[in-house]
Structure 1
Amino acid sequence: MDGASEHPELWAFLASLTPGERMSGTVAAIESFGVFVALDDGPAHPLFPGVGFITHPELAWHHFDEASDVVQVGQRVTCEFLQFDTWNLEARLSLRAMRPDPFQEFADRVEVGQTLHGEVTKLVPFGAFVRLTGGIEGLVHRQHLTSGPAEEVSDVVRVGEEMAVVVTEIDRSRRRLSLARRQEPSSDSP
């Protein structure tokens, strides 16, 4: 399908949009692959429930299981325009771009070496993920879980366990937080 010749009004509308532009509309449909938005401005889409489309990663900064955990059909949304998808003739949108990135806010107020408290949320062969205040998660690599020889992660820590951790690295560009388990001073010391 040649979108420019078959749907000139829609093509012209989408081609006129600028990345970063704010667009408002109504959530028209929630699918397993993303969310369609019927935009307030511009023509209707010939095939889809809306000209706007939000992929799952662009819905929210936090982890969610279903798109319906973030938006509902009929909900009004304001999004940032990302790009013109010329194949599907749709405006790719970001809902999360309209909110501050909680990881960057966290990185603004936390420093390497700082001690924090969190809850173990997931065990993996190479370490444990710990959720801190604000829902930010970091990884405690298995070598930083215990002062002894590296054991199985499940022998050292359990999901749901509260833990004191030290921030060892904040990678803003990759949105990754590295942590180490804070070792409590031994009560046997003189």
Structure 2
Amino acid sequence: MPEPARDPRLKSLINQLQPGPVRKVKVIGFDGVDVLVQLMDAEGEEAEIGRIPLYEASMRRMDNPSELFELGQEISAEEIGRWREGQLHLSARACEIPALRSFLLSIERRQIVTGTVSEVHNFGVFVHLDGEPDGLCTGFIRVPDLTWTRMNHPSEVVAPGHRITAEVIIAETRSGQVTLSLKALREDPLIRFADQIGRVLTGPITKIIPFGVFVQLAPGVEGFLHLSELTDEPGETSDRLVDEGELITVRVAEVDLQRHRVRLCAADGEGGF
């Protein structure tokens, strides 16, 4: 049975967000809204100069990091990379709440976790994970990671108070968040549908857009039929040719597991319907 390929761009992003080593640093100045720090070596001696950007200074809201840090103050900060001709950048926010950092470091990618839905928004879902520090909400599910099927709003999938089980995509010390996936624990319906290429199927139109229509082909599986497969007439739009809910017969032209999409063509294999 074929499986969807892993997106190399996602893998690269996850690698960039992996926690870095923690360094002891001393605040030596401010450069605009950035914090300049002196790194300390293993013996506690002063080493190179590093920089903490404003957005990495704290999880608390502030206008300037001088509101939080004093000259000479020693803090812990996580290495995040080198910019500006090799200068080391660090994150103080990644070490700001020790209990939160310990919790995040205990969570591994693809680990199965449980929690309770806290808030549902059009951009995603916040989740109180079991075992997280009191007073915090560490879990987050992006809209594309909720379900394999198309939806209009996340509230169609979950609601506040629901208990959920999800797979960890990544735990980020810098954001203090665990990105989760609900759909990772459910089989992609396209995997079993991949052998349908070339088949002629009939299904209802589920959505109409100006340049084509979506057609339900099986439970959890929709395909897209481009406007050019409906008509050869210039100036026509999909909504003038078909209605939502109307049954339509199509041919499966392509099943793309990587992009999770099905491309359809006219049942007779030619343009026009």
The bucket for the TM-score relative to the shorter chain is 0.7 to 0.9
Q: Are the structure 2 counterparts of residues 137 and 32 from structure 1 closer, same or farther at C-alpha, using a change threshold of 3 Å?
A: closer
Unaligned ranges ≥5, structure 1: 185-190
Match for residue 152 of structure 2 among 46, 65, 85? 65
TM-score by length of 2: 0.58
Deviation of the 1:82 alpha carbon: 0.7
1:18 matched to which residue of 2? 108
CA RMSD of superposed structures (Å): 2.2
SS in structure 2 of the partner of residue 174 of structure 1: coil
One-letter amino acid of the counterpart of residue 8, structure 1: P
**Structure 1 residue 155: Cα displacement:** 4.6
Letter in 2 for 1:64: M
Structure 1 residue 41 corresponds to structure 2 residue 131: yes
Aligned to 2:265: 180
Please give the residue correspondences for 1:27-176 in structure 2 after superposition, counting only pairs within 5 Å. Answer: 27-44=117-134, 46=135, 48=136, 50-107=137-194, 109-110=195-196, 112-146=197-231, 149-151=232-234, 152=236, 153-176=238-261
Conserved? CA contact 2:104–2:171, under 8 Å: yes
Supply the AA of the counterpart residue of 2:189.
P
Do the aligned partners of 1:3 and 1:11 also contact (CA within 8 Å) in 2? no
Q: In structure 2, what is the Cα distance between the partners aligned to 1:29 and 1:87?
A: 22
SS in 1 for 2:233: coil
Post-superposition CA distance 1:1-26 (Å, at most 9, x none): 13343211211221232110001111
- Which structure is higher in RCO with an 8 Å CA cutoff and minimum separation 6? 1
Matched residue SS, 1:88: coil
Q: Deviations over 1:22-48 (max 9, x none)?
A: 01111122234322222222423x5x4
Q: 1:36 to 1:156 in 2, by over 3 A?
A: closer
Secondary structure of the corresponding residue to residue 9 of structure 1: helix
Higher radius of gyration, 1 or 2: 2
Partner SS state of residue 164, structure 1? strand
Number of corresponding residues? 177
Aligned to 1:132, the other structure's residue is in SS state: strand
- Aligned partner of residue 219 in structure 2, secondary structure: helix
1:188 corresponds to: none
> Match of 2:139, as an amino acid?
G
* Gap regions ≥5 residues in structure 2: 1-57, 59-91
Larger CA deviation: 63-72 vs 10-19: 63-72
Q: Distance in 1 between matches of 2:192 and 2:264?
A: 18
Residues 152-187 of structure 1 show CA distances to partners (whole Å, capped at 9, x for unaligned) of 134543322211111111111111211122249xxx
